[in-house]
Structure 1
C-alpha cells in the first residue's frame, strides 16, 4: 500500500501540465512569423476591452495587473479587431459585459470594409471564424465575439481581392480556426508581408479553412513562451487566455 502511494505521488509530481497554449516562431515562404495555437477544448479564450470601472485596458501590462489581483496570469494575448480613436470597436464586439457594438454588414473604408470581412465567435469549448453575412444568417451563440476585416481565408479560399504581386507590405496579425472549432491559431508576422502572403500562411501552412485579419502595424503579441510582451500605444479589444488557480471545491 505504501509503495502504491509512493508511485502515485511520484506520477503526480512528474506529470507535466497539459500545454493548451503553444507558441513558437516559424518561417514560411521566406517570411517569419510568431504563432500561438490554442486548444479551445482545454482553454477558454476571452475578450477584454474595459475593466470593472469602464476604463479601457489598452495594454497587456494593464490587463496583467488586473488579473494578478485575482491570482491569475495572462498566458497569451494579442490585439483582436479594429477600433476607433477612443478604442471603441469598429464592428461587433461582445464580452462578459455584454454587446459593445452591433454587427456591421455594409462595405466601408479601410481594411475593415474590404468585404467580405468576418467575426471571431468564441463559445464554450470552441472558436469559429465566420464570414459576416454567414454569421448574420446563422446567428450562432457567442460568449465572446469580435468583428474585423478583411477575411483572409473563406471556406479554404483566399480573399478574392488579394493579389500575389501586391506591393502593400505591413506587419500583420490575425486568427484562423479549424472546421471543428477546437483549433484557434493566432499569427503575427515578424517582417512586413502582403495580404496574399499572410492569407497563404493560414491556408497552406496552418491548414485552416477560415481565417480573419485583425490589424496591421499596430499589431502586438503577448507570448511568455517566446519571452515576448509587446508594448506601445493603447489597443482596443484584446483576445487572450487566462490561467490561474482553480477555486476550491
Structure 2
C-alpha cells in the first residue's frame, strides 16, 4: 500500500483509536510451566508478516518495524518472531508477504526441527488464520495473503507430533502458534521457562483446546507485547509476525 494512502487511512482510523480492537495478552501457568500468550482475531486485527523494509533491508527487530510504521501513523500492538530463517535471515520455508511469494514450500524432510515432519504453514488473510500441515497445504493450495512455514507441527488434528516424548530432557524457551478450526482465532504462545516439546504441545492441545498448532522456534523466541510492558531484545530476527494499530491507540 502506498505510504500516502496508508497515512490517510491511519488518520481516519485514529479518530476511532479509543475503539480499536486490542490483541489480548496474558500470562498462564500450566502443569508447572509458565507461558505468555497473545490472542489475535484475524477478522478484526490487522495481522501482517514483516521481513524487509522498502529499501530491501531486513528489519531484524521490533523497534525497526515500529519506526517504519510510525511514518504512517501506525504501531505494533503485538509481534513475535514468525518463522525459521537462514544465517542471512532469509526464510527457510514457504513465505508470502502481502500476496507476494518470497520462498516456495519445502515439503521434504531435512535436518533440524524444521525438517522433522510433519511440519506446517501459518496461512492468514481475508479475515481468517489457519495452521495447516505442509502436505495438506500443498494438496489444498489455499490462498494466503501471508504465509510462513515452520516446524515441526505441535498438534496435528488433535494429536501431538509422534516424535514428542513425555520423558524428553531437551528443554528450551519455545514459541509457537495455534489456530481454531473456524480460523477465527490465532493464539501465539512463548514459554517463560524452558520446556520440552511434549509439554509445549500439550499446552496447546490440552489447555488451549486447539487441534492445530505449529512450532516457530526454540532458540530465538521473542515477544513484543506493549500491554504487558514487554519487548524482548536479542540477535536480529528473520520473519516477524505482528498486529498493526493506529499510533496512540494503546495509550
Deviation at 1:40, TM superposition (A): 1.3
For structure 1, the residue ranges without an aligned partner over 5 or more in a row are 1-14
Partner of 2:222: 220
Name 1:113's counterpart in structure 2. Answer: 115
Match of 1:63 in 2: 65
Q: For the residues of structure 1 that align with 2:21 and 2:210, how far apart are their CA atoms? A: 20
Hey, what does 2:93 align to over in structure 1? 91
Q: 1:23 is matched with which residue?
A: 25
**TM-score (structure 1 length as normaliser):** 0.90
Structure 1 equivalent of residue 201 of structure 2: 199
Decide whether aligned partners of structure 1 residues 168 and 232 sit closer, same or farther in structure 2, where only a CA change above 3 A counts.
same
- Larger Rg: 1 or 2? 1
Partner of 2:130: 128
Residue 73 of structure 1 is matched in structure 2 by 75
Instruction: Deviation per CA, 1:182-231: give whole Å up to 9, x if none.
Output: 01000000000000000011101111110000001211000011100001
Gaps of 5+ in 2: 1-16
Per the alignment, residue 177 of structure 1 pairs with 179
Aligned residues: 231
Q: Could you tell me how far 1:123 is from its partner in structure 2?
A: 1.4
Distance 1:225 1:156 in 2: 31
Asked whether the equivalents of residues 20 and 39 of structure 1 are also in contact (C-alpha less than 8 Å), the reply is no
The one-character-per-residue Cα deviations of 1:159-189 (angstroms, maximum 9, x if unpaired) are 0110000000000000000000001000000
User: Whole-Å Cα distance in 1 between the matches of residues 196 and 126 of structure 2?
Assistant: 33
- Specify the SS of the correspondent of 2:19: coil
Q: Distance in 1 between matches of 2:18 and 2:234?
A: 34
Query: Can you list the C-alpha shifts for 1:80-110, whole angstroms capped at 9, x where unaligned?
Result: 1100000000000000271111100000000
CA, structure 1 residues 18+64, in 2 after alignment: closer, same or farther (shift >3 Å)?
Answer: closer
Task: Report the CA distance shift for 1:29/1:19 in structure 2 as closer, same or farther (over 3 A).
Answer: farther
Give the ranges of 4+ consecutive aligned residues of structure 1 lying more than 4 Å apart after TM superposition: none
C-alpha displacement of 1:24: 0.6
Task: Give the aligned CA root-mean-square deviation in angstroms.
Answer: 1.3
Question: Is the CA contact (8 Å cut-off) linking 1:44 and 1:125 kept in structure 2?
Answer: no
**Secondary structure at the residue paired with 2:183?**
coil
Q: State which of 102, 105, 120 in structure 2 corresponds to 1:103.
A: 105
- For 2:21 and 2:73, how far apart are their aligned partners in 1? 20
How many Å apart are 1:49 and its aligned residue?
Answer: 0.2
Aligned partner of 2:35 in structure 1 is: 33
Post-superposition Cα deviations, 1:11-62, rounded to whole Å, max 9, x if no partner, equal xxxx963644100111000000000001112113100000001000000010
